[in-house]
Structure formats: structure tokens, C-alpha cells
Chain A
């Protein structure tokens, strides 16, 4: 399914978008400061009313990668299930993007998961806490420099006695 009209319209509004296609999926790489506006335009003017997922990829050891993280927003239209992938590339030290919880309330937990697993902060998120890992955990486990078996946190979990409870 061709997404050309949507991409043409987006290119007219925003400068410097990079579009690529793989196995019938259209991906658009946007800059960090354009992200929120692009997503809002797609939702309000092009009918992409479903945010399927937000995820992140750590390109630390990836071939030919120049940036450290790639943030992925998967969008879909509920009336004809057309899909679009929006990507933002981020590098240390500035790992923050604007939140999209004001556009989709369901982004709340997904953004918390990305923060928990990768340490990417979402500016303006109402409640950015860890979601899967314990609150006192310090690392971001899905980063590529975090070892598979952990750094010994599991052996040093605090023990809660009945009296403390």
C-alpha cells in the first residue's frame, strides 16, 4: 500500500525527513524537535489514531550505526489499518524526547517502559517511574552494555521481614 500522498504532505510541512521502505513498511526518520508536531499532524490530519507501540533499539554494536539509540513509534489507522513507523535517533548525553501522552493516553506505560529499559527521558510525562524493574534498581537492563545475567543485583535484593511490612 502506497503512503506517497501522506509522505508528500509531511514533506511539505517538515524539512529534512528521511523516508525508507522495507518489506512494504514505510519508515520516516524525524528530528527530535519535530517529533511531537509530526505525530500530532499524523493523528489529527491523516487519521493515524492508534499508537501501536513505542520501543527503542540500542545500536551500540550495530554495523555502520552512527547514533546510539533509535526510538520507534508504530502508528496505525483504525479505519483501514495502514501503518507508519516514525523513528527518532538519539545519542548521549542528551537522551530526552517530548512525551506523547497528551496525544495518546496509552503512551503512559509504554514510555515508562522505555525509560525503565533504556533510560530515555520523556519531557512532560506525568509520572515517569520505573515500571518493570524494582524502584531501587539503578541500571537500564536492555542497553547493550548491560550483561545478560545482570550485575549481581539479584543476589543483593533487600529482604523484607514481617516486622517491617
Chain B
């Protein structure tokens, strides 16, 4: 079998002086499994042809065979550097289809874990940009803080990496005083590190030279290319779903939307850093105003499994538990379809779910932000040098598992 080079153009002799370089699928700077075929004129990138699908695992097909609670384990593996946000996005969409609202305490808990996931995602993304442009210390600072966030998640739900924390109508574990204490401690100590990180890179001559003016995405290109999240906001598209269509507890909390105008790799870095400050503000406000009350929907709504105390001591609890776990019962969804999205760390993460009355989705489409961002990559890199590939790729924060699903 011949080697397949994804080249839509026919062979052109006038381009014979160009050198073709395979970047990936295994390369330390791609950080995940993706491949770019670069056409180089010396150091200059004349064209870049992305080739994806190396991590395609049929997540959407699996979504048609797992029930609404089981599928949350698959969403963990989509964007594996912020799995909490994916869990929340999935069940947010399911609850929209069902037409139920989770109790206030659950909304606040989900807001807190979402914002912690955003901080950890931005730490990894910025850290990786730093690492690829030569700032190794910066990367270690970022990764140490990410470990602390994973410690919080471990105390909260027992899993560090693949949390599977949410359920239809609630979450698996309530926030205990111990977790709250851990989060407060993180909020106290994190500003010092983030100031150190800003001091390391914000005015670092090497970093600024490597990223400023590199990979410029204009506002028009961002809109036409369907960009979202920090990538779009760094180009002056002032869209943030947390403000524009407030979900969970965001309407009650005070925060700002961080935007930039330049649209280059450096401003994407700045937007992510600024968003970490805003996320920290959100976590602080939410943890101090955490409402009391149930953290799951009650027995009457029959969506979240009742706690063991209710199952063993009340007849309603027993019935509800059996109704939910029996394979021919489960959650009743309407024969309808709906789309619901949240502002994930990477951009708009939405699920288009078609229900057919059973407890398994008829179609579970995921709208991954990385997919549109990676499609923009060729136009961002054309004309830059080979060493800029990693700076642009890192600043887009491409997660191949989410890209290919």
C-alpha cells in the first residue's frame, strides 16, 4: 500500500524545490496524536496540510449504545485535560433535553469544578506553550499547580484524571468540609504562583519574540472559521457563553470576559492567563456562597439515584432505585432533540442529543472546539518558520482525543 499523503493538489513540477516534512503523528510538540504535512521552502512554511483521525475511537457511535449516566465516562476521555468540564457539558445537555433543573447547591458545585477545570486546562496549555518555546521552569510551575487541582478532585470524587463526576440530575459526591478547606487553601496560594508565572513569561524577551505577531487570526477569520473560546476572544470576538446565555450559577457571580484584539499566539496566552484570574475569582465567590440543601434532584423527579439511606429505609427510595437501575426502565426522555453548550476551557463544547424515549440517546453529537480550531491552523502558519509551528499549535490547545472523538 502506498503512503497516503493528504495532498489534494496534483503533482506540480514548479513546486519540486519544496521540501515535504511529516510532523507527527508522534512528535513531542504535538503533545497528542496528530499529523501535519508541512511544505517547506527552506525554513518557511509554504503550506500545512493537517491529517487527523489517528485517535478516532467512535465516541459518538458508543453514545448511541450507552445510557445517559454511563456515557459520562466516555466524555472524560474527550478532553482529558479538563474532564470535569466535559462531564458537566454532557449532563447539562441531557438535563436540557429532559427539561429538569438541578438544585442550587448542585449548580454551585458544578460551577466550582468547571472553573477549577478551566484553571488546570489553561495551566497545561500555557505551560505547554512555554515548554515548546523553551521556558521549562514555567512548565514545571504550571504542572505543580495542576497537581494541586487534581488533589482536590481526588478528595472530591476519588478520581484524579477521569472523574466521571456528574450524573443526570446531580453529581456523585457532595462537597465535604475537607474539600472546601482544600479549595480555600488553593485559592489562597494560587495567586502567588500565577504572579510568578506572569513575571517569568509576560515580558520575557525570548517568549515575546517567539509568539508576538505569530499566527495572527483576525476577527473576520475567527467568525468565518467558527472559532470559539479563548481563541476567538483573543481575536476580538466578545463571545462567552457564561455571560451570553448564563447557565449553572454564572448569573449570580461577578466576573469579566477577557478579550484581546491582536489575535496572535501571545494574546491567546494573555487571554488564558487573564481567564485564570477570573476563574479564581469565580471559585472564591462560589465556595463562600455555596447554598445548603440537597445536591441531587429528589426522588420524585426520578433522575439521580437516591442515596443508600433512602433506598434501605423508604419505599419511595427503593422503588426509585429499582426503576433507575433496571435495564428496561431508566430515565424517561422525550422523543425530541436539543442542543446545549457550555463554555468549556477550550471553547464552546456542545452536545446535540436526540432522545427516542429510552434511556439511551438515539444520537449523541459532540461539538468539539478543537475541531474548528485545528481547521484554522494552515492559514495561521503559512509564511511563518518551522519553529513557529509549535508556538501556534500550542496556543490553539489542540486536544486530539476531542478532535477525533
A residues adjacent to B (C-beta < 8 A): 22-23, 25, 49-53, 55, 57-58, 62-63, 72, 74, 78, 80-81, 83, 85, 104-110, 113, 117, 126-127, 129-136, 141-142, 146, 148, 158, 160, 164-165
Contact = CB atoms under 8 A, between A and B. Distances in A.
Contacts of A110: 226, 371-372
B65 to A, nearest CB: 6
Contact of A104 (B97, B226, B339): B226
Contact of A135 (B4, B65, B223, B237): B4
Contact of A129 (B2, B8, B223): B8
Nearest to A55: B365
B375 interface: yes
B62 A148 contact: yes
Given A109-B374, A134-B53, 16 more contacts: A23-B96, A25-B339, A53-B367, A55-B367, A57-B354, A63-B356, A85-B339, A105-B224, A106-B227, A106-B372, A106-B375, A110-B372, A117-B60, A131-B52, A132-B405, A164-B2
Interface string B345-384: 0001010101011000011010100011011100000000
B294 interface: no
A109 B375 contact: yes
A129 to B, nearest CB: 7
A133 B335 contact: no
Interface of B: 1-4, 6, 8, 52-53, 56, 58, 60-62, 64-65, 96-97, 99, 221, 223-227, 237-239, 241, 244-245, 335-339, 341, 348, 350, 352, 354, 356-357, 362-363, 365, 367, 371-372, 374-376, 404-405
A164 B362 CA distance: 42
Nearest to B60: A142
Contacts of A109: 371-372, 374-375
Nearest to A57: B363
8 nearest CB pairs, A to B: A106-B226, A81-B244, A106-B225, A132-B53, A109-B375, A158-B1, A132-B56, A53-B367
Contacts of A126: 8
B1 A164 contact: yes
Contacts of B348: 52
A58 B335 CA distance: 14
A23 B99 contact: yes
Contact of B61 (A57, A78, A83, A142): A142
> Chain B CB within 10 Å — which of A49, A50, A58, A113 has the most?
A50
A104 B224 contact: yes
A72 B352 contact: yes
Nearest to A109: B375
B362 A57 contact: yes
A65 to B, nearest CB: 10
A127 B1 contact: no
A112 B239 CA distance: 26
A58 B226 CA distance: 25
Contacts of B374: 109
Contacts of A85: 339
